[in-house]
Structure 1
Amino acid sequence: MSRHVVVVGSGPAGLGAAAGALRAGARVTLLDAAEDPGGQYHRMPPAAFGAARPGRLHHGWRGFERLRDRVLGHPRCAWWPESAVWSVDRTEQGPPHVHVLRGEADGAGRERHVLRPDGLVLAPGAHDRVLPFPGWELPGVYTAGAAQALAKGERLVVGDPVLIAGSGPFLLPVAASLIEAAPPSWRCWRPTPPPPSPAAGPRARGSWRRRRARRGSSRGTRGSWPGTASRTGRAAP
């Protein structure tokens, strides 16, 4: 009898864990709160959008498609979309029991399930860690993850123009996603230029430079940092 592995989260880590468990001969239940796999990294627009190029804003899209199709198409993999884990109970021995609600979020007809796997993998993804500053809670102030999620999942940009504060590697793909989703007249300002960090990778930096050159949408200012956001729509150093 093969082992049963439950994987919570269908982003790159969850799909990779599911693929590894399947290669080892296990049965896999892969679940996610979203309708489609991909997680935050490969967030896709709703099917109702009928996007002709859903991977337009994504890095490594073809590799993701191959991994997704291989995992979800495997006979030992059960794919549970729109499934939320609301409790995990410890047991005296072995992995915990996993309590799941299946169905549309906030829907009245959600089904309750209890999974008793031999192994449990938690891959719920990352979230933004916000460092508060004066005005950080005002409307129009977004985390980088929220801005990218709106660009990838809804093809919306959070403003015009947009000020992107920071120089970490994650802001490179965020800015590239915003530029790609925005109309040609849209503008983006960066308080500090992105460093030539190896963590960003040459492909990410190259993609940023190419999109910036093609669209002419990004400007950088050196040696400044927004310290205050106000209701006037301005950020002061």
Structure 2
Amino acid sequence: MSGTVDAVTFDFWNTLVAEGAAGTPRGRRWHRVLEQHGLEVSTAQLAAAMEAGWQWFDRRWREGTVVTTAEAVEAAVAHLPVPVPPDVVDELAGIVVAGTDPAHMVVAPGIGEALERLSSAGVRIGIICDVGMTPSTTLRRYLDHHGLLRHFDHWSFSDEVGAYKPDPVMFEHAAAGLGSPAPGRTAHVGDLLRTDVAGARGAGWISVRYRGLADDVGDDGPEADLVIDHHADLPDLLGL
């Protein structure tokens, strides 16, 4: 193996893809379902409940408590002024699980080229992702739609591993799935200081912060060994 790395992992959100502005917003779809079941909720009330649900999830994400989509949806609808029956909660959760049209996702510029070059150099490629409220099955569908899924040799999604970054379990799971490369010859690329950079550094890996889709400047965490704005620059920076 030439170069400085044998394996590279990538975060998903704001590293491989980002949510686009197109498509029907989740709130409108939720509102339609509630109306169909005779549940009268204003747009403002629903928006406040969804924000409360997101804050509930964010607190658990930061403390490292893995939760399901259904639990996050239940936390949100608990803030509505009317009780929501379990079958309607399930329907709302189904909207989250289904996600959006993959065509509306924004693919990080240059990621396809970078993955091709890494693969051609014999580098093993993985994903280490905190899924948020959209499960890994849907995220795989997004990648497959854009022709990216085929490049990955292994996946470490939080809803399958049972942990969030920067928990070492996530990085150990990825390393095992990629053939246990030496930590010093393994790199992780992500956008967040607290989870991606801190987790990679804690594992003894090369940390790479990608800021082409989002620049994380307000969260606590160490800076990465390398900072890139375009994925096409990654192979050269890793000595490939």
If the TM-score is normalised by the length of the shorter chain, which range does it land in? 0.3 to 0.5
Higher-strand-fraction structure: 1
* Larger gyration radius, structure 1 or structure 2: 1
The two structures have a TM-score, normalised by structure 1, of 0.37
The two structures have a TM-score, normalised by structure 2, of 0.36
Higher-helix-fraction structure: 2
